[in-house]
């Protein structure tokens, strides 16, 4: 139960993972979208750092583990070194006639009972700007000045009431959540998944589908694979079935399925002996991104310069399997968080109607324009080129 997953046939998946990069860079189909800018990636990483923090395993006294030795996995289950092939183009496979491996320290285990190994998440699981305010009281105290309701980074000379910090925090989190659901997720998932999981923000009124039975805890599939954090050792075909894709048992069936380009299937076939051995992260990243239609990008005078239009083809950033996992998780983060900005839950102080209306009028472009002295022009669609 503590060991890394094994292949269906006589092969070590650790070795397969070491070979995979070499094969997928030889003629495989790239999946780069020229319609999105670098800030799109950065904002996604900001979200990930807000809700995900998987620390590496350590030794008995809290010391860092040395997992560079090829035999380190025999010393501790927390090491899973990756063997370097003799024909590797980038790394030497031996040093002084001693076999070399790539260091790989496994994430800290979250459980102390029998069952599959699951990573621990040391961040709060909610979209609560923990990257700014911290995930616990100790971290929150470190960033506060405890003077005039300010953070230590403030330098505005204004005297604020003591409650200003919490009020500002509440409004900032609400704006942040609105930007995630109104601007970022539609670019990732596309309209069908946004509608299927009821992720689109309302234009008026409150969201009424909060439920105490919804578990907002991040799934392993989301945190370790679909949101591009680490590699996953979870079930392979089940996420495809959940996403409405046909279960495949052979590489030929995967080709006929058309969810992955033939060139990428051939690359996978060279390093995986069985289609069920394909890592979830690898499959997600090689899936064809969902396609949309032609839209217009508006670059307007939000920063006091002239505006112009650009037409481009929507290319969503994730395929069906990864999209389903991400949409499902953000649905849980919305429906399972009683403090979510659109929720009005009994005995919980939510946003007033006027406050919610003001939040819905904000955009990420406007936030950057109002808080950046260097920015002179910016697109209304903040993530598009």
pLDDT tens digits along 179-231 = 999 999 998 888 999 999 999 999 999 988 899 999 899 988 888 888 863 33
Mean pLDDT of the 12-41 span: 61
DSSP string, 195-263: HHTT-SPPSSS-B----TT---SPPHHIIIIITS-S---S-SHHHHHHTTPPP--SHHHHHHHTSB-HH
Is 353 within any annotated ligand binding site?
no
Alpha-carbon separation of residue 138 from 44, 92, 129, 153, 254 (angstroms): 26, 45, 15, 17, 49
Residue 82 placed within a domain: no
Residue 129 placed within a domain: yes
Residue 77 placed within a domain: no
- The whole-number pLDDT of residue 214 equals 93
**What digits encode the pLDDT tens for the residues 46-68?**
999 999 888 899 998 889 999 98
pLDDT grade for 310, boundaries at 50, 70 and 90:
very low
Query: Rounded to the nearest 5°, which phi and psi values hold at 183?
Result: -120, -45
**What digits encode the pLDDT tens for the residues 88-139?**
888 888 888 889 898 999 988 877 777 778 888 888 889 999 988 888 878 7
Residue 219 placed within a domain: yes
- The whole-number pLDDT of residue 271 equals 79
What stretch of H or E contains 98? strand 98-99
DSSP state of 118: -
Residue 16 placed within a domain: no
- The whole-number pLDDT of residue 10 equals 54
What stretch of H or E contains 99? strand 98-99
Instruction: Look at 350 and 305; give whichever has higher pLDDT.
Output: 350
**What digits encode the pLDDT tens for the residues 148-158?**
666 666 665 55
Domain boundaries, position 228: 35-55+124-236+279-371
d(CA 332, CA 201): 14
pTM exceeds 0.75: yes
Owner of token pair 């919610």: 356
- The whole-number pLDDT of residue 364 equals 93
Owner of token pair 């399925």: 257
pLDDT, the chain, mean: 78
Residue 88 placed within a domain: no
- The whole-number pLDDT of residue 33 equals 64
CB 358 within 8 A of CB 280: no
Residue 108 placed within a domain: no
d(CA 282, CA 321): 11
d(CA 10, CA 339): 50
d(CA 205, CA 189): 24
pLDDT grade for 302, boundaries at 50, 70 and 90:
very low
Residue 189 placed within a domain: yes
DSSP state of 300: -
CB 100 within 8 A of CB 129: no
Query: Rounded to the nearest 5°, which phi and psi values hold at 205?
Result: 75, -170
Residue-level length of the chain: 385
- The whole-number pLDDT of residue 244 equals 66
Number of domains in the chain: 1
- The whole-number pLDDT of residue 153 equals 66
CB 30 within 8 A of CB 21: no
Count Cβ atoms within 10 A of the Cβ of residue 171 and give its class: 0-12 exposed, 13-18 middle, 19 or more buried. middle
Highest mean pLDDT pick, 126-140, 295-309, 318-332: 318-332
């Amino acid at each position: 139960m503590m060991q890394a997953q094994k292949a269906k046939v006589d092969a070590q998946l650790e070795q397969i993972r070491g070979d995979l990069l070499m094969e997928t860079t030889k003629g495989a189909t790239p999946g780069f979208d020229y319609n999105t800018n670098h800030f799109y990636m950065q904002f996604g990483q900001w979200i990930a750092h807000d809700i995900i923090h998987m620390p590496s395993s350590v030794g008995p006294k809290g010391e860092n583990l040395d997992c560079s030795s090829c035999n380190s996995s025999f010393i501790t289950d927390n090491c899973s070194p990756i063997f370097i092939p003799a024909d590797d183009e980038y790394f030497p496979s031996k040093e002084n006639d001693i076999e070399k491996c790539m260091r790989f320290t496994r994430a800290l285990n979250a459980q102390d009972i029998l069952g599959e190994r699951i990573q621990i998440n040391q961040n709060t699981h909610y979209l609560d700007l923990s990257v700014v305010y911290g995930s616990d009281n100790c971290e929150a105290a470190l960033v506060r000045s405890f003077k005039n309701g300010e953070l230590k980074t403030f330098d505005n000379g204004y005297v604020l009431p003591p409650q200003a910090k919490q009020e500002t925090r509440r409004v900032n989190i609400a704006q942040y959540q609105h930007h995630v659901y109104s601007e970022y997720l539609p670019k990732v998932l596309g309209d069908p998944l946004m509608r299927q999981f009821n992720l689109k923000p309302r234009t008026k009124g409150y969201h009424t589908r909060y439920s105490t039975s919804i578990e907002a805890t991040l799934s392993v599939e989301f945190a370790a694979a679909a949101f591009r954090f680490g590699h996953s050792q979870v079930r392979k075909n089940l996420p495809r079935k959940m996403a409405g894709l046909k279960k495949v048992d052979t590489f030929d069936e995967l080709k006929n399925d058309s969810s992955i380009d033939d060139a990428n299937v051939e690359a996978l076939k060279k390093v995986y002996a069985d289609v069920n051995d394909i890592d979830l992260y690898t499959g997600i990243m090689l899936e064809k991104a969902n396609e949309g239609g032609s839209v217009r990008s508006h670059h307007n005078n939000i920063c006091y310069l002239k505006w112009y239009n650009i037409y481009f083809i929507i290319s969503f950033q994730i395929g069906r399997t990864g999209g389903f996992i991400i949409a499902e998780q953000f649905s849980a983060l919305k429906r399972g968080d009683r403090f979510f900005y659109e929720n009005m839950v009994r005995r919980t102080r939510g946003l007033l109607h006027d406050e919610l209306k003001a939040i819905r009028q904000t955009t990420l472009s406007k936030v950057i324009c109002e808080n950046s002295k260097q920015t002179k022009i910016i697109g209304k669609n903040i993530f598009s080129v």
